[in-house]
A and B are shown apart, each in its own frame.
Chain A
Amino acid sequence: MKKQASKFLFIILTTLILISVAATFYRYLVIRDYETFMDLEEEETELLEEL
């Protein structure tokens, strides 16, 4: 009985993981909903070092 309950628990977890992965895929690769920025300070420091 408890073995079946554990099995059920892991099936639920696996399903939620798959849903989460799908949501992540949709957000970042389909609708591309993320912010971007350029770390100009670090780039300037690198340029200065090269000079």
Chain B
Amino acid sequence: MNYLSCTFEPAQYLIISAEVEPLIYYSHFVAIFAALAISLLVFFHNPKLLVSKLFLTFAGVFSVWAFLDVILWATNDPGLVMFSWSIQVLAEPILYTIAFYLFYYFLNQRIPSFGLNFFVVMILLPLVFFLPTTLTLGAVELSYCESEEGPIALYYTYFLNITFILLIVYTALKGIPYLRSNSDRKKSVLFFILGLTIFLVSFTIANLVSSFTDNWLISQYGLFGMPIFAAFVAYSIVQFKAFKIQIAGAQILVVTLLALVASLLVVKPELRIPITSLTLLFTSIAGFFLIHSIQKEIQQRKEIEELALNLESANARLKKLDKLKSEFVSIASHQLRSPLTSIRGYASMLVDGSYGNIPFKARKPLERIEKSAGMMALSVEDFLSVSRIESGNMVYDCTDFNIVGEVTHITDDVRQRAIKKGLLLSMKTDVKGQGIVHADLRKVQQIIHNLINNAFKYTPKGSITVYVHDDLVKKKIYVEIIDTGIGIKSESLRTLFQKFSRAENASDVNVEGTGLGLFVAQQMALAMDGDITAHSEGLGKGSHFILQLPLQM
């Protein structure tokens, strides 16, 4: 089919034409390259992030817009002018739409409400429906190869652009005040807004002025906002935590110098002096700030080195003090143990009648003395264990034994205690192997006693279940103590195995203790290549302790 062409030479490969000034190729392809390169880098940094996908889509739509613009400059085919121009008219508001969603998601970490999404789709629909009609574009003028813009292109698209700019401003005003001041997050959001503002202002104003004055050369200057915006967004998304003004400054200086110097190859001769002057001015200012910041960094580094030396000597002093403390605890505990043994021994013998009948009135006080001395002895043992663990002197006499049998004996031993307290104590086993472990028998008994005792202490009513099972694939055996007691808060779970840590609600059941039992138990389990973990749904929902040990296969 024959059609009239515009009155200049046809373009080669759609975009190459002698009619097009080199500056147009330069401005467009620099912007396309910057947008795509930076957005792809951000995308491949973390492809799963929605913000990375949105940014890539934004860069893609912008690149389509800019490429179509080059076609419009170069082509003499009126049909191609109409098509490219129409798609540009469509792409521009879509670009603003994506900019809005990008900013909204970046700030609020979620997509807008359904209502807002519905509003966005509704205002875009007229543009989409009327795109192939004369309401968007009218006739083509053949001497300049330009199309007449209809009301949709002339007015409705700018209404859309302004609406999205206002939505961005509204989102920013609503969301930014709630960000914590001076946080990295707030700074990265402000950085993002600065880049977005530079791009939208330059792009919008350049296109508006071009549209109304019919001087399409002006619109190309708006494209320089894109590389700046892309760089700002990349830093906001990817690097803000590691953002160093000196590195960014050096990068910006190099890129800008390259861009300015390269532009000398394509600009008209009369523009070379202004561009060279601009390059000189910019290099001087940026160079001065860079040198100043580097000097500051060197000074800070010296201060940090001094601080590090002071810290090292303070650390050495602390280690010495810690060692002395452990030795003191060990000596003190040993000194306490002997008299305690005597107190318990004699109190027990008195109660048993080894020294004859004791008055009825004296029985109860003597029993109290025996019980208190026993509790004190346990505390002293805990302190001694902690001291031995910390000084590395805890000895483990590992042998092979059947852990199922040991757990059964311990459970049977405490059954009377459970009946007395009105608790239901049960034991379940699901052991497919032989249940043999290579560990210190006394220490394992101590751990299991500790866990079961804790279950008793913190379960005023209900049941305690001891469940032993193995995993032959992982070669581990698990001893689980599950109770229906007072439960543990999630914050307390994190610190439960630390020294002197006790559940905040321990006093609810009048339980006394040093807070060292679980620390000692876990340390011993870890030393035997095992571990103890604690779980609880929360207060009042019981707790679940799991001792795991490696199986001897």
Point out residues on A near B: beta carbons under 8 Å. 2-3, 5-6, 9-10, 12-13, 16-17, 20-21, 23-29, 32, 34-39, 42-43
Interface mask (B92-130 → A, CB under 8 Å = 1, otherwise 0): 001000000000000000010110011001001100110
Whether B139 lies near A5 (C-beta < 8 A) is no
Question: For B114, what are the chain A residues with a Cβ–Cβ distance below 8 Å?
Answer: 2, 5-6, 9
A3 near B90: Cβ-Cβ < 8 Å: no
List 12 extra interface pairs beyond A6-B117, A24-B86, A28-B80, CB under 8 A: A6-B114, A9-B118, A10-B121, A12-B121, A20-B90, A23-B132, A24-B83, A28-B83, A28-B86, A34-B78, A34-B140, A37-B141
If the complex has contacts A6-B111, A6-B117, A12-B121, are A36 and B80 also in contact, measured as CB distance less than 8 A? no
* Contact call B142/A37, Cβ cutoff below 8 A: yes
Which single member of B87, B125, B143 contacts A38 (CB below 8 Å)?
Answer: B143
* Chain B interface residues (CB < 8 Å from chain A): 1, 3-4, 7, 78-80, 82-83, 86-87, 90, 94, 111, 113-114, 117-118, 121, 124-125, 128-129, 131-132, 137-144
- How far apart are A35's CB and chain B's nearest CB, in angstroms? 4
Question: B90: which A residues are within 8 A, CB to CB?
Answer: 17, 20-21
A39 to B139, CA, bound (A): 11
A38 to B141, CA, bound (A): 5
Name 25 A/B residue pairs within 8 A (Cβ), A-sorted: A5-B114, A6-B117, A9-B118, A10-B117, A13-B125, A13-B128, A20-B128, A20-B131, A26-B132, A27-B132, A28-B79, A32-B79, A34-B78, A34-B82, A34-B137, A34-B139, A34-B140, A36-B4, A36-B78, A36-B142, A37-B141, A38-B142, A39-B143, A39-B144, A42-B143
Q: Are A35 and B140 in contact (CB under 8 A)?
A: yes
B131 touches A3 (CB 8 A): no
Q: Please, which residues of chain A bring their CB within 8 A of the CB of B78?
A: 34, 36
The answer to whether B125 touches A16 (Cβ under 8 A) is yes
Question: How many whole Å from A24's CB to the nearest CB in chain B?
Answer: 4
